[in-house]
Structure 1
Amino acid sequence: MITRRTHVALLAASVLLTGCGGGAVASTDGRPTPSGEPSRTTPAPEISVEVAPQQIPGLGPKTWAKVPAAARQAVVVTGRGRDSSASTVVLYERTAAGWRAGAKWPAHNALKGWTDHHLAGDLRSPIGVYTLTDAGGLLKDPGTKLTYDRGVGFTSPGTGFEGEPLAGSFDYVIAINYNRQPGTSPLDWTRPLGAGRGGGIWLHVDHGGPTHGCVSIAEEHMKELLLALDPHLHPVVVMGDATSLNR
């Protein structure tokens, strides 16, 4: 004779043996699957993690070796071709995760392109890696951390190679430390390599055409660059045509 108490005990044992759901097992997504079939799992979504490169893209070993180890900011000017006056500018900043790129800005360089051995009047921009320490302009300091020299000496009269007015080209400038004395105004004409090797190579406001040797970008981008550069991060400019930079 099976008593009520014995019936309850047998039912409990059956539940323990078969699992909750009476002949079904719970899948990992909470839906039951028939007993004896493998449970279906929902694959975890793939997570894309952006990994910053440990080296700036587009720079070959020869160019990269010239970038100082202390540099944490690099303005990379990439020319379209050896004899082209069109280029792009990107500000890279080094973080613990690697080098991170900012926006890409259209730019102009010298009328005849680029050279490994710049000479005064050759109408080519010098290829290389140069430090950035000093700035200035016709307009007041926008708030840069670089040393800033304001004065009427930054007036730019006349017209460019394509007949465009040069007025405003030197509203903001950043001196590129090619054949100049760092720590002085961009207007300082000291030439350590001699006058024949040219100088006065700046980043400045674009006037809509090729330059004599400088690199030019839109005024709004010059202002952004001035606000971003920090001497404590040892900024440099890396400049040249794409093929030369990739050496």
Structure 2
Amino acid sequence: MPVRKVRPGPRVLTAALCATLAVIGYMTVSPEEATPPAAPAPRAAAKNAGPQAAPLPAAPAAPPGVGPVTRTQIPDSTSQALVVTGKTRDTNVATAVLYERDGTGKWRQAAGPWTAHNALRGWTTHHVAGDLRTPIGVFRIGDAGGRLPDPGALLPYDQDEEFVSPGTGFLGEPLEGSFDYVVAIDYNRLPGTTPLNKERPLGPERGGGVWVHVDHGGPTQACVSLPADVMRQLLRALNPVREPVIVMGPADEIAR
């Protein structure tokens, strides 16, 4: 009989995936108003001036290899990022590194690098079902599961026999065991639910079921895959308190 953990209800994401733009207003004045008043007589400096406003904290720096444009998609509240980069848009072998941000705002390498696979035809900024490309961008990762028992995940973990992957891959390799451990990528899915949830907010034509899962030795349909021991390590490291994200795509585009 499958073991299933009681999962919390859908979680409300508290951080937007884009930067806030500041809006500056201007005031129009008449020529009379534009005339400067006479300078007042000199005054002695105030002895007990009130406290000055503290400067606003700088936005957190970006993980290594992540450029300023991509950085704007990472919520300021996020302090854990799995960065997956390929050499070009058309490659299906990638490198994955887990970074964490400390209390000073600096990002450090927490684990990796690891060799990963992505989709057969590479990457895309407009993923559609069947294009055999992995979506480029920054996405939340907050739900996990798999066919095997929970290895100690901090994320909500759904053990279910439905995590099956029959057949063979693009290189003729067996797919069995690929879904022993998975982490759902919040692309066209309902966050806060099992990775098996098939709701597609963008519509089925935009694909779905994009996961980080166990590597089977070849390219994927759209997912990112890592070795089984790395998946266990990742599941024990990803912490929902840190609001983790995955940053993925060709290295040159992520660096913009």
Question: Which position in structure 2 is the counterpart of 1:12?
Answer: none
* Equivalent position to 1:90, from 85, 97, 112: 97
Q: Distance in 2 between matches of 1:76 and 1:242?
A: 10
Superposed CA deviations along residues 32-64 of structure 1, whole A, max 9, x for unmatched, are: xxxxxxxxxxxxxxxxxxxxx932111111111
Question: Which position in structure 1 is the counterpart of 2:204?
Answer: 195
Amino acid paired to 2:156: T
Q: Distance in 2 between matches of 1:86 and 1:238?
A: 15
Question: Which position in structure 2 is the counterpart of 1:77?
Answer: 84
Aligned to 2:236, what secondary structure does the other structure show?
helix
* Equivalent position to 1:171, from 168, 180, 185: 180
Q: Distance in 1 between matches of 2:177 and 2:190?
A: 25
Higher strand content, 1 or 2: 1
Cα RMSD of the aligned pairs, angstroms, is 1.0
Runs (5+) with no aligned partner, structure 1: 1-52
Aligned to 1:244, what secondary structure does the other structure show?
helix
Larger radius of gyration: 1
Q: Does 1:57 align with 2:64?
A: yes
Alignment of 1:29-68 (within 5 A): 54-68=61-75
* Equivalent position to 2:195, from 186, 194, 198: 186
Q: TM-score, normalised by structure 1?
A: 0.78
Question: Which position in structure 2 is the counterpart of 1:99?
Answer: 107
Superposed CA deviations along residues 170-226 of structure 1, whole A, max 9, x for unmatched, are: 000000000000011100000000001001000000000000000000000000000
The percentage of aligned residue pairs carrying the same residue is 58
Q: Distance in 1 between matches of 2:123 and 2:112?
A: 23
Question: Which position in structure 1 is the counterpart of 2:253?
Answer: 244
How far residue 90 of structure 1 moved from its aligned partner, in angstroms, is 0.3
Question: Which position in structure 1 is the counterpart of 2:32?
Answer: none
Q: Distance in 1 between matches of 2:224 and 2:204?
A: 20
Superposed CA deviations along residues 5-32 of structure 1, whole A, max 9, x for unmatched, are: xxxxxxxxxxxxxxxxxxxxxxxxxxxx
Q: Distance in 2 between matches of 1:54 and 1:240?
A: 19
Q: Distance in 2 between matches of 1:244 and 1:199?
A: 22
The total of aligned residue pairs comes to 195
Structure 1 outlier segments of 4+, above 6 Å: none
* Equivalent position to 1:114, from 111, 118, 123: 123
Q: Distance in 1 between matches of 2:114 and 2:199?
A: 31
Q: Distance in 1 between matches of 2:75 and 2:145?
A: 24
Q: TM-score, normalised by structure 2?
A: 0.75
Q: Does 1:230 align with 2:239?
A: yes
Amino acid paired to 2:108: R
Runs (5+) with no aligned partner, structure 2: 1-59
Q: Distance in 2 between matches of 1:245 and 1:123?
A: 20
Q: Does 1:218 align with 2:218?
A: no
